[in-house]
Structure 1
Amino acid sequence: MAQAAVRILSSGWEFKCETDERWLPVSQVPSNVHTELLQHGLIPDPFKDTNELEVSWVAERTWCYRTRFVTPSEGRVQGSRTDLVFEGLDTFATARLNGKVVLESDNMFVEYRVDIGKLLAGGAENTLEITFEPARQRGLELVKAHPEHDFIVHQTEVSRGPVRKAQYHWGWDWGPILLTCGPWKPVRLESYVSRIEDIRVDYEVHKNRGVPTILEATIHAHVLGPAAELEVDLLFPGGHAVSLKGRNDTPAEPSWKYSSTKLSIEDPDLWWPRGYGPQNLCELRVRTIGGPGSTLLAEEHQKIGFRKVELVQEEDKFGRSFYFRINGVDVFSGGSCWIPADSFLPQITPERYRDWIQLLADGNQNMIRVWGGGIYEPDVFYTACDELGILVWQDFMFACASYPTYPDFLTSITTEARQNIRRLRHHPSIILWCGNNEDYQLVERYNLEYNFATDKDPQSWLKSTFPARYIYEHLLPTLTHTESPSTPYHPSSPWGNGTSTTLKVDPTVGDIHQWDLWNGEAKPWQALAQMGGRFVSEFGMMGYPHTATLEAFLTDPAERYAGSRTLDFHNKAVVHERRMLAYVGENFGLARAASGGGGGGLAAFAHLTQVMQADALAAGYKAWRRDWGREGARGCGGVLVWQLNDCWPVVSWAVVDYYLVKKPAFYAIKRAMAPLAVGVTRKFHDWTARPADELWRRNTGHVDSRKMLTDIEFDVWVASSRLEAMKGKVVVRFVSVKTGEEVRGRIEEDIEVQPNGCTEVLMGYKFDWGKATVAEPEHFVIQAALLLGGTQVSSDTSWPDPIKYLDFPDRGVAVKDLGQGLVEVSAEKPVKGFVFSEKQGMKLSDNGFDLVPGDEPKLVQVENGGAELGWTFVGR
């Protein structure tokens, strides 16, 4: 027998409810029961209207899948072995082969491999049947079986705590309750004599300024079954190759391990994040050879990249830093948090995964955080990140709960973590393993036992009221340091190095989740500059998707209005009705929301939420990227918006909806994260309240809103991710909202843009009406533009707050079709929040922008837009 014979069992499956007699055909495996029921017309589409409620019964039933296959001829070869491999079963599953139980599984994240050679029916047909029990019911049974644990679970009911299943299936504040089951990953047969079970490359990159970079690497392989020798080829970009061979002195042994001698390569081609260098990848090929004629028994390939990652946490004048240094270069991490892209995971095609990561890259983002309530994503996700230079912050799958630590649970999650670290560790894009999402917040909320400074005994943690500390500060770091030593580990997100754990956001240490925007105190988004930290790994603002998406899930035209029963059902955030109306009302006014752009109604309200979301997120990215500072004085190391995507059509914090249709906020981030980005912001006055002082003792509404016109102070700066200094010019203009004319002379500053940091241009600049060219003070837009060699490369605008006090008659907007998908947009007077209506399949180079007369016309490339392209803006 030569190489292993692999057969994917993807077709010929049937399914049924356990109590039914009739089996129904399955479209294909991977599968889950909801999509199969939907294909047969047995349930309504859970993503539309309130149908989520109509399908809740599915999660209460036991479901069965079965298929038949002929015994592979390769499995009858002397000395061979045939395995049945389940890459992922969701979740409590019992597998029977020819009526005999071969597997009982309870962890969705674990791959199971079963030797079935002795159970195969000769040359006859075999029957494989898998029974899936209800996850919620089993979870409640586990809670009852372990009274020694206080199961504290946020966002959902308690049954998810002891269940190793994607946690978002229980519903979240952006997702539905759809407790799926089924063979969610491939099922396959493998017949082989020899198998390469594991490959590992340990390496160090010695990179210092002025000294040649040295790569030292050791290659390990674990081989099962007989093999006389093992061949290893490492192919570098440009054709350079390294070949190694190792012999097995006892080739009849069932298992042997190989380690190469340490390689030493001078000036290797390193892997770099997007925007900092090329994404050099090597091909690693491993083969086992044995038997007469040097027979090839097994072969495995991996794409790997070499990079040096440091999580820099040093004491400084701000507290303790938190940022990433890649190959010796400080990197500001601007990106997004990622949730699973579908409630029904088998529906996500490899092409859809690649489209998501390409979209991220096109938006000038360089990091994605895989959130701990979802899944360890498939290889195609990380491969796309490798190829496009997207850094990956990888959470382990724990979120918003106090997890148990009884022995069976610890055994299961140990297998889960080790398998997934080994599967993913070769991806250079993964630059951080993180223990969980927000689990330490329960420590403070419920006063759980936790003494970071003095209690360093992991065994004592298991006996405390917060036993999960054992998982995050002992089990997982031990595994990651052993299995993936070149990648840092972080116990939690957020995490303040034991000093903050962090309901109380500590801006001086660790990473923070800044939810005093929208949640918590629901502060104005204009205050974000004062709400940063050393690394903001979550913050967000809600915004509606475009009208086409809304109409896709609101099938009843009578429900297509803001605040309808169905629309509220498709927003899972607590008190979203109050928060959305409050933010829209204080910024734009409710009268404008009711009667504004696109003829009023739902479209008008949706547009204002989009502009509000874009303004808020732009403010955060601009301010915190400004705080990146410069080498030796790094303030903020990164910003990750919650969230990039949705798992179903919904109103949420996502900047791109379920159908990959981008909201205006996506483009706002794209502009703020450009390699060279000018920023301008004016001092914010909260016109809704007078801050408390010693006399008033509390906030009141006694404010003088006339100061909007008289107390004007602003900053201008330039952020750069370029690694070299650049000479340029910043031009600042002051343009009347009413007339479109400039109200005073321009400010022009010749500057040298500092590399990889922020260059301050104007700080605390006070606007003087004595230098104005108009008789009376009036509202104006501040526009800052960055020019290099006379060419404008970036611009930014600052409007008076709040927008609801401004009037927008007769804007003189012109939209011209220049042909070949190129559209020119201009205006005679300043325009706030110009938005093209987008739909699935449409691609725009820019959207959701402001227009300022006298500026260069806005050119937008539109693909698949056609004659249906519509638009609106604030006040239309």
Structure 2
Amino acid sequence: MKATNIYRTIMAATFSLYACTSQTAPQQSFLLRDNWAIQSSKDTREGGDLISTSAFKPEKWYPATVPSTVFGTLVENKVFPDPYFGTNVQTIPGYIARRAGEIPDDSPFKTSWWYRTIFELPADFRSRNTWIKFHSINYKANIWLNGHMIADTMTVEGAYRLYNFNITQFALAGKENCLAIEIFPPKGNDLTITWVDWNPTPPDRGMGIWYDITVSSTGPVAIDNPKVVTKLNLPLTDKATLTISAEISNSTDKKVKGILKGTIEGISFSQEVILDPKEARQVTFDPGNFSQLVISDPKLWWPHTVGPQNLYDLNLSFEVKGNVSDSEKIRFGIREISSWMNDFDKKHTRVFQVNGKNIVIKGGGYVEDMMLRPSDKRIDTDIQYAKHMGLNALRMEAPRGSDYLFDKCDEEGILLIVGWCCCSSWEQWKRWTPDVEIIAQKSWRDQILRLRNHPSVFNWLLGSDN
């Protein structure tokens, strides 16, 4: 993706599912954050078919929460000292002195580690499809549920991949369910989480579940990856056209007819959709056929140094025989980014415009906690620091911020420069094998789908310095 492109996307919000009510049964989603335990496979003889059942009794496992890394959990359990104090990090077994170095053979993080939890599934999931979404696992994993493997390392590979598995045949509605995940650390030229010179390399190289796991239910048809693209009538800004799309999938063995409906404030639109068995399709509402998607005098989204951060809510639902099968809600902003190369003081420089106005990008680098511990409070504080310094942008060291971070930057008017981490395997293209290339392509696609609706995200770099 070259920076010479004119970006016309906009918007903002999380792709996570939210609780709502249909006419027959409630669609629900919940996060698996608590009641976890971890242990090294070196100290666990049993396999996933037993560990992922209630018959298995985890003894001497370490209590954990998710998101977390293995190293972060062990620090939390006082197994290792606080790596931020003095030179403690150098005393931890498996300390990696060299940037992006390999995990030593005698390190406790050289082998795979198990994450395990037990959770109860609502009884009303029984008549619906049950899904589990992983975002994200570092680096490879075997995933087991109730004694059954639902995915292995041939599928689950890459620190920035997103996965959504249909677990209906293995899930136990109205009962306790056991989920066990065997996670393998990155090695060699893996496209993993790297810190370069921002932090010491953690001894586990970020191994773990670094973001949320969501369990949800849908009817026969699911909605995924909603998208809003906006276009202004520049150089004026008194009219905007919206193009709205979403991926619709039929999980049944029968043909399904339904209606995809959408609302944006007082605007509504819909179209009938017929899906063949197991068919997945992108459905689009374009302003040429839906005149209500031509907005007069739109409320625009601006960086905080220029204007207000106006945001809209898009609600989508798919109804089958009058019952809501699935629904999605995203938040977006109407704005248009343009850029081109120009010469200033004999230097070839990129110029950016927001909604037709020139803007000087004044930003700073931003990186998360070394152990990837989530903290909304820290994000709030960091953004206020940036605004206090007069900054209007942050450069992310890879796209690993929480949804809260991106949502908050939408609300606060902070532009985000996102991309892969420089000075790492992400830029060592000549060393990539065909398998690594596939992981790179899938990672890129997943993260673009995740972030493309955020008005704050205005640029994507192949390497964060390039």
Aligned partners of 2:75 and 2:284: how far apart in 1? 50
Are the equivalent residues in 2 in contact too, given 1:354–1:380 (CA < 8 A)? Answer: no
Give runs of aligned pairs for residues 840-851 of structure 1, distance below 5 A: none
Q: Which residue of 2 aligns with 1:26?
A: 63
Structure 1 counterpart of 2:337, which letter?
Answer: V
Give runs of aligned pairs for residues 102-251 of structure 1, distance below 5 A: 102-103=150-151, 104=153, 105-120=156-171, 125-135=176-186, 139=187, 159=188, 162-168=189-195, 172=197, 174-178=199-203, 179-193=205-219, 194-208=221-235, 211=236, 213-225=238-250, 226=256, 228-235=258-265, 241-250=266-275
The higher radius of gyration belongs to 1
Deviation at 1:425, TM superposition (A): 0.9
Deviations 1:619-666 (A, max 9, x none): xxxxxxxxxxxxxxxxxxxxxxxxxxxxxxxxxxxxxxxxxxxxxxxx
Structure 1 counterpart of 2:269, which letter?
Answer: L
Structure 2 counterpart of 1:33, which letter?
Answer: V
Which one of 140, 143, 152 corresponds to residue 95 of structure 1? 143
Identify if the C-alpha distance between structure 1 residues 213 and 318 changes in structure 2 by more than 3 Å, giving closer, same or farther: farther
Deviation at 1:203, TM superposition (A): 2.4
Aligned partners of 2:283 and 2:32: how far apart in 1? 32
Aligned partners of 2:111 and 2:283: how far apart in 1? 48
Answering whether residue 90 of structure 2 is matched by residue 53 of structure 1, we say yes
Deviation at 1:110, TM superposition (A): 0.8
Aligned partners of 2:257 and 2:390: how far apart in 1? 48
Which one of 380, 383, 407 corresponds to residue 383 of structure 1? 407
Aligned partners of 1:212 and 1:110: how far apart in 2? 37
Deviations 1:97-135 (A, max 9, x none): 233332222211111222222233576543321112232
Are the equivalent residues in 1 in contact too, given 2:120–2:177 (CA < 8 A)? Answer: yes
Which one of 33, 36, 49 corresponds to residue 10 of structure 1? 33
Answering whether residue 280 of structure 2 is matched by residue 255 of structure 1, we say yes
Deviations 1:489-518 (A, max 9, x none): xxxx2xxxxxxxxxxxxxxxxxxxxxxxxx
Are the equivalent residues in 2 in contact too, given 1:3–1:297 (CA < 8 A)? Answer: no
Structure 2 counterpart of 1:36, which letter?
Answer: T
Are the equivalent residues in 2 in contact too, given 1:394–1:433 (CA < 8 A)? Answer: yes
Which one of 337, 347, 352 corresponds to residue 309 of structure 1? 337
Answering whether residue 432 of structure 2 is matched by residue 395 of structure 1, we say no
Aligned partners of 1:349 and 1:173: how far apart in 2? 18
Q: TM-score, normalised by structure 2?
A: 0.78
SS class of match (2:228): strand
Are the equivalent residues in 2 in contact too, given 1:98–1:119 (CA < 8 A)? Answer: yes
Deviations 1:299-331 (A, max 9, x none): 211111111211131356735332211112111
Structure 2 counterpart of 1:42, which letter?
Answer: V
Identify if the C-alpha distance between structure 1 residues 33 and 250 changes in structure 2 by more than 3 Å, giving closer, same or farther: closer
Deviation at 1:365, TM superposition (A): 0.8
Answering whether residue 371 of structure 2 is matched by residue 344 of structure 1, we say yes
Give runs of aligned pairs for residues 398-547 of structure 1, distance below 5 A: 398-400=422-424, 401-403=427-429, 404-438=431-465, 493=466
Q: Which residue of 2 aligns with 1:35?
A: 72
Structure 2 counterpart of 1:82, which letter?
Answer: T
Structure 2 counterpart of 1:44, which letter?
Answer: P
Aligned partners of 1:257 and 1:134: how far apart in 2? 36
Identify if the C-alpha distance between structure 1 residues 95 and 174 changes in structure 2 by more than 3 Å, giving closer, same or farther: closer
Structure 2 counterpart of 1:355, which letter?
Answer: T
SS class of match (2:234): strand
Are the equivalent residues in 2 in contact too, given 1:231–1:286 (CA < 8 A)? Answer: yes
Are the equivalent residues in 1 in contact too, given 2:121–2:173 (CA < 8 A)? Answer: yes
Structure 2 counterpart of 1:11, which letter?
Answer: D
Which one of 73, 78, 100 corresponds to residue 123 of structure 2? 73
Are the equivalent residues in 1 in contact too, given 2:143–2:179 (CA < 8 A)? Answer: yes
Aligned partners of 1:24 and 1:281: how far apart in 2? 45
Aligned partners of 1:212 and 1:38: how far apart in 2? 52
Deviation at 1:429, TM superposition (A): 1.3
Aligned partners of 2:198 and 2:72: how far apart in 1? 23
Are the equivalent residues in 2 in contact too, given 1:393–1:432 (CA < 8 A)? Answer: yes
Are the equivalent residues in 2 in contact too, given 1:2–1:297 (CA < 8 A)? Answer: no
Structure 2 counterpart of 1:63, which letter?
Answer: W
Deviation at 1:28, TM superposition (A): 1.7
Deviations 1:662-691 (A, max 9, x none): xxxxxxxxxxxxxxxxxxxxxxxxxxxxxx
Are the equivalent residues in 2 in contact too, given 1:34–1:58 (CA < 8 A)? Answer: no
Which one of 395, 416, 420 corresponds to residue 369 of structure 1? 395
Deviations 1:731-772 (A, max 9, x none): xxxxxxxxxxxxxxxxxxxxxxxxxxxxxxxxxxxxxxxxxx
Aligned partners of 2:295 and 2:309: how far apart in 1? 18
Identify if the C-alpha distance between structure 1 residues 83 and 331 changes in structure 2 by more than 3 Å, giving closer, same or farther: same
Deviation at 1:366, TM superposition (A): 0.7
Structure 2 counterpart of 1:303, which letter?
Answer: R
Aligned partners of 1:219 and 1:313: how far apart in 2? 30
Deviations 1:194-249 (A, max 9, x none): 321121122211222xx5632122111222235611211123xxxxx321111124
SS class of match (2:84): coil
Are the equivalent residues in 2 in contact too, given 1:230–1:289 (CA < 8 A)? Answer: yes
Identify if the C-alpha distance between structure 1 residues 273 and 134 changes in structure 2 by more than 3 Å, giving closer, same or farther: closer
SS class of match (1:19): helix
Identify if the C-alpha distance between structure 1 residues 261 and 44 changes in structure 2 by more than 3 Å, giving closer, same or farther: closer
Identify if the C-alpha distance between structure 1 residues 45 and 321 changes in structure 2 by more than 3 Å, giving closer, same or farther: closer
Structure number having the greater strand percentage? 2
SS class of match (1:314): strand
Identify if the C-alpha distance between structure 1 residues 120 and 300 changes in structure 2 by more than 3 Å, giving closer, same or farther: closer
Identify if the C-alpha distance between structure 1 residues 187 and 289 changes in structure 2 by more than 3 Å, giving closer, same or farther: same
Deviation at 1:398, TM superposition (A): 4.8
Q: Which residue of 2 aligns with 1:741?
A: none
Aligned partners of 1:254 and 1:75: how far apart in 2? 22
Q: How many pairs are equivalent? A: 398
Are the equivalent residues in 1 in contact too, given 2:115–2:180 (CA < 8 A)? Answer: yes
Q: Which residue of 2 aligns with 1:62?
A: 112
Are the equivalent residues in 2 in contact too, given 1:59–1:180 (CA < 8 A)? Answer: no
Deviation at 1:177, TM superposition (A): 3.6
Aligned partners of 2:133 and 2:361: how far apart in 1? 38
Answering whether residue 319 of structure 2 is matched by residue 289 of structure 1, we say yes
Aligned partners of 2:282 and 2:26: how far apart in 1? 19
Structure number having the greater helix percentage? 1
Q: Which residue of 2 aligns with 1:453?
A: none
Q: TM-score, normalised by structure 1?
A: 0.43
Are the equivalent residues in 2 in contact too, given 1:52–1:176 (CA < 8 A)? Answer: no
Give runs of aligned pairs for residues 601-750 of structure 1, distance below 5 A: none
Aligned partners of 1:9 and 1:123: how far apart in 2? 16
Aligned partners of 1:118 and 1:249: how far apart in 2? 25
Q: Which residue of 2 aligns with 1:597?
A: none
Identify if the C-alpha distance between structure 1 residues 76 and 339 changes in structure 2 by more than 3 Å, giving closer, same or farther: same
Are the equivalent residues in 1 in contact too, given 2:83–2:89 (CA < 8 A)? Answer: yes
Aligned partners of 1:38 and 1:31: how far apart in 2? 11
Deviation at 1:406, TM superposition (A): 2.3
Asked which structure has the greater RCO (Cα within 8 Å, sep 6+), the reply is 2
